[in-house]
Structure 1
Amino acid sequence: MKKVYHVLFILGLFMGFNSCGSDDAENAIDCLFEPVNFNVNHVISPKNSKEVSFILLYTGEHNLDEEVTWNFGDGTTLKISGTRATHTYSDAGSYKVVVKPTVRNGDAFCSPSVDRNINVE
C-alpha cells in the first residue's frame, strides 16, 4: 500500500509541475513586490484647503487597468477611470488614502493596496 501511495504522490507532483507551462511562468505577476512599483502623490488646492488632487504613479512593466479604486479615508470610496482623482473633504484632519489599482500580464493579475497619509486643514 505504501508503494501505491508513493507512486500516486510522485505522479501527482509530476502532473502538478507540468501543468504550469512556460506561458504561465511568463504571465506571472509577483504580487508581493508589485506595490513597490506604485506611488501616490497629492497636491492640496491653494484655493480650497480641503480639496486634494491625487495621482497614482506606476513604474512597473505590466499593463495597468484603466479603472482604479480610491478610498479617501473619510468613508468615500470611488472607482475612477485613470490614475488621477480629486476629492474634497468635509472636515480637517488626518486621512489614510488607500488606492487599489490592478495590473495585468496575460491572464494573470494583481491588485495591490497603495496608501498615503495626508493632513487636511
Structure 2
Amino acid sequence: LASRQSFWAELNAARLDHKNVVRIVAASTCAPGNQDSLGTIIMEYVGNSTLDHVIYGTGCVTAKRKDDQLSIAQCLGYSCDIMAGLVFLHSHLIVHLDLKPANIFITEHNVCKIGD
C-alpha cells in the first residue's frame, strides 16, 4: 500500500515544473506480467553528473585531488538551486524523503536539479 501511494504521489508531481526539480516526462501503470511493479516513471535526462560526484570526485567527474575544494561561489550557487527546488516542492506539499548528494543532479549549465 505504501509503495502504491508513493507511486501515485510521484505521478501527481508530474504536473509540477521548476528549473531545480527533475521533470517527469511520462508514466505508465503497465508492467510486464512477470514483474511485481506498479509501473514506470520516465524523467527528463539531465546528464550523469551529481553533487556526489562533485563533492567526492567519483563517477563521471574527473577525480579531484584531496585538497581541491569547491569555490564559495559554486557552493552558494548549488545551495541556492537546492533550496529553490525544496521551497517549490514544499509549497506543493511534497517532501522528497531521500535528499542526498547522489540525488542532486548537475546539468551541463551547472544548475542543480533535485531528483531521485
* TM norm structure 1: 0.27
Greater strand share, 1 or 2? Answer: 1
Greater helix share, 1 or 2? Answer: 2
Indicate the structure (1 or 2) with the bigger Cα radius of gyration. 1
* TM norm structure 2: 0.28
